[in-house]
A and B are shown apart, each in its own frame.
Chain A
Amino acid sequence: MNAPSTWDLLGFGEFGWGDDIALGVLVTISLALATLPIGLVMGFLLALAKRSEDWALNLAANIYTTIFRGLPELLTLFLVYFGAPHLLNGVLAALGTGPVEVSGFVSGMIALGLVFSAFASEVFLSAFRAIPRGQWEGGMALGLRNSRIMILIILPQLIRIALPGLANLWMNLLKDTALVSVVGLTDILRQTQTAARVAREPFLFFGLACVLYLILTMLSSAGIAGIDRWTKRGGTAR
């Protein structure tokens, strides 16, 4: 039997790893997309807590940020992956139900969500500071409730100001998903690693992994540029 050529290895045929790696791309994208909403909502709530006049809320939110911004992402992942079953099974045993396992995907989602929200809260916080008081006061003068002011006046401006910072965090999130391959999630890096080992072509496959991540980054940049134009569409008239 002839050794399969590079194109056979990358293809979708019998010796090809193309299908496995394509699956890995899907896993990477879905993990990042699944984490994003959690991180954004948590980050926004944390920013609100940091802005509130309640010192206990401030302190609680700051403790959260200090911990999850300071821990290495990989360690956070290990803490969640190995720690969550401990904690969950302790609770479940007290309730009298059987043990559960936390999958790599869910651990990754939780760990990356914790990290993302800690950083996002700071982005939101500085975006809040960039919005002049007059915007709140104007809303109040119109007789709007606080929640309406937030949704109708503040949030649209907030998104515009926070977008570059959040875009950065999205890129970091996309790259950090690679860490979840360490706990067995079959993402891009895991699949290429398997391929590299079996086919004995590490440079080819890890190079491919880098190229795939670069493509994802480029696509994200294009998408973010689109969102940026969308948030600024009201400003063109001025």
Chain B
Amino acid sequence: MAPRRAGIAGILVLGLWALAALGLVIYLVNVWNPALFAKYGPAYLDGLVVTVSLVITSIVSGALVSVPVAFGRMARNRLARGLSFAFVYFFRGTPLLAQIFLFYYGFGEFRGFFETIGLWWFFREAWYCALFSLSLNTAAYQAEILRGAIESVPRGQWEGARALGLPRLVIFWKVILPQALMVALRPYTNEIILMVKASAIVAIITVYDLLGETRRAYGRTFDFQTYIWAAVLYLSIVEVLRNITNVVEKRLTRHQKR
């Protein structure tokens, strides 16, 4: 391969980035304010904890919900197929923000009903509503990942295992699922990253996650650096996750390397 050299265009655009980075550093040094940091630093950390716990909880509960949905999508029963298709279509076809509004504000209309069935404590809290919408939203996406992965395993794997006389459940656990999860690994980790980003939306319904704390800090100080710090934190989370993913994937698929 020919030695790769930098042309004028490349140096120009890279220079632009360098300039932007320099400008950002100068800006941050200029507006450096220890009092602001002492006041809002801990709040940001709290927000970070809220974001992380929100993401972990909704990913896990979404995974639980996604299993019946994925099997419903693959079922022979028409009703199960239709219902799970509608579920997936609704949550993937509408904006998350609209879903959150629908659950948080819309369910408030049925307060009487929820009080009778004793669930009002749940739908009253912005935090639970956020958790509820995020879980169902990611469940729809995870169901599609799971279904795609299971269907990507060739038929011959089922047939071969059946020829060995294995019961269906054993075939699924020992033969199909390990191969499916290998396929699903990358989409699943992508979904986690997408959830970290999507969870920022809950700030709109007054959940004080990382973006929520940022909005509060900006609303009180009108200091733009509050948003810059949020951006730095979000980017670091996503980059850390992405690098962990790459390492894990390399490790888990090392038998496929030739």
Q: For residue B245, give the distance in angstroms from its CB to the closest CB of chain A.
A: 13
Q: In the bound complex, do residue A55 and residue B94 qualify as a contact, i.e. CB atoms below 8 Å apart?
A: no
Q: In the bound complex, do residue A71 and residue B102 qualify as a contact, i.e. CB atoms below 8 Å apart?
A: no
For residue A217, CB closer than 8 A to chain B, the reply is yes
At the interface with chain A, which of B63-71, B148-156, B180-188, B193-201?
B193-201
Q: In the bound complex, do residue A189 and residue B95 qualify as a contact, i.e. CB atoms below 8 Å apart?
A: yes
At the interface with chain A, which of B42-50, B106-114, B165-173, B249-257?
B106-114
Contacts of B40 in A (CB 8 A): none
Q: In the bound complex, do residue A74 and residue B102 qualify as a contact, i.e. CB atoms below 8 Å apart?
A: no
Q: For B11, B96, B102, which residue has the most chain A Cβ atoms within 10 angstroms? A: B102
B-side binding surface: helix, strand, loop or mixed?
Answer: helix
Contacts of B10 in A (CB 8 A): 52, 54-58, 60
Bound-state Cα–Cα, A217 to B199, Å: 22
Q: In the bound complex, do residue B97 and residue A189 qualify as a contact, i.e. CB atoms below 8 Å apart?
A: yes
Q: In the bound complex, do residue B224 and residue A193 qualify as a contact, i.e. CB atoms below 8 Å apart?
A: no
For residue A67, CB closer than 8 A to chain B, the reply is yes
Q: For residue B107, give the distance in angstroms from its CB to the closest CB of chain A.
A: 7
Q: In the bound complex, do residue B2 and residue A179 qualify as a contact, i.e. CB atoms below 8 Å apart?
A: no
Contacts of A67 in B (CB 8 A): 235
Q: For residue B136, give the distance in angstroms from its CB to the closest CB of chain A.
A: 13
B101: nearest residue on chain A (CB-CB)? A206
B21: nearest residue on chain A (CB-CB)? A63
Q: In the bound complex, do residue B227 and residue A72 qualify as a contact, i.e. CB atoms below 8 Å apart?
A: no
Bound-state Cα–Cα, A102 to B105, Å: 30
Contacts of A86 in B (CB 8 A): 224
Q: For residue B219, give the distance in angstroms from its CB to the closest CB of chain A.
A: 11
Bound-state Cα–Cα, A175 to B109, Å: 25
Q: In the bound complex, do residue A206 and residue B106 qualify as a contact, i.e. CB atoms below 8 Å apart?
A: yes
Contacts of B22 in A (CB 8 A): none
Interface residues of A in 48-62 (CB under 8 A from B): 49, 52-60
Contact of A60 with B13 at beta-carbon distance under 8 Å, contacts A72-B211, A207-B102, A214-B89 already known: yes
Q: For A56, A58, A67, A201, which residue has the most chain B Cβ atoms within 10 angstroms? A: A56
B99: nearest residue on chain A (CB-CB)? A210
Q: In the bound complex, do residue B227 and residue A78 qualify as a contact, i.e. CB atoms below 8 Å apart?
A: yes
Q: In the bound complex, do residue A70 and residue B94 qualify as a contact, i.e. CB atoms below 8 Å apart?
A: no
Contacts of B235 in A (CB 8 A): 66-67, 70-71
Contact of A214 with B90 at beta-carbon distance under 8 Å, contacts A54-B7, A56-B11, A56-B13 already known: yes
Q: In the bound complex, do residue A209 and residue B93 qualify as a contact, i.e. CB atoms below 8 Å apart?
A: no
Q: For residue B90, give the distance in angstroms from its CB to the closest CB of chain A.
A: 7
B222: nearest residue on chain A (CB-CB)? A82
Q: For residue B186, give the distance in angstroms from its CB to the closest CB of chain A.
A: 13
Bound-state Cα–Cα, A75 to B209, Å: 13
Q: For residue A107, give the distance in angstroms from its CB to the closest CB of chain B.
A: 13
Q: In the bound complex, do residue B211 and residue A193 qualify as a contact, i.e. CB atoms below 8 Å apart?
A: no
For residue B4, CB closer than 8 A to chain A, the reply is yes
Contacts of A4 in B (CB 8 A): none
Contact of A196 with B201 at beta-carbon distance under 8 Å, contacts A67-B235, A209-B98, A213-B93 already known: no
Q: In the bound complex, do residue A182 and residue B101 qualify as a contact, i.e. CB atoms below 8 Å apart?
A: no
Q: In the bound complex, do residue A178 and residue B227 qualify as a contact, i.e. CB atoms below 8 Å apart?
A: no
Q: In the bound complex, do residue A75 and residue B17 qualify as a contact, i.e. CB atoms below 8 Å apart?
A: no
A187: nearest residue on chain B (CB-CB)? B95
Q: In the bound complex, do residue B4 and residue A193 qualify as a contact, i.e. CB atoms below 8 Å apart?
A: no
Bound-state Cα–Cα, A55 to B201, Å: 36
Contact with B along A30-68 (1 / 0, CB 8 A): 000000000000000000010011111111100100110
Contacts of A79 in B (CB 8 A): 227-228, 231
For residue B6, CB closer than 8 A to chain A, the reply is yes
Contacts of A49 in B (CB 8 A): 13
For residue B217, CB closer than 8 A to chain A, the reply is no
Q: For residue A27, give the distance in angstroms from its CB to the closest CB of chain B.
A: 14
For residue B38, CB closer than 8 A to chain A, the reply is no
Some 23 contacts from A to B, beta carbons below 8 A apart, are: A54-B10, A56-B11, A56-B14, A57-B6, A57-B13, A57-B14, A63-B17, A70-B239, A70-B242, A72-B201, A75-B200, A75-B211, A82-B227, A175-B95, A202-B102, A203-B106, A203-B107, A206-B98, A210-B102, A213-B95, A213-B98, A214-B89, A214-B94
7 more A-B contacts (CB under 8 A) besides A55-B4, A70-B238, A74-B200?
Answer: A49-B13, A53-B4, A70-B197, A70-B235, A72-B211, A210-B90, A213-B95
Residues on B close to A: CB < 8 A?
2, 4-7, 9-11, 13-14, 16-17, 89-90, 93-99, 101-102, 105-110, 193, 196-201, 203-204, 211, 214-215, 218, 224, 227-228, 230-231, 234-235, 238-239, 242
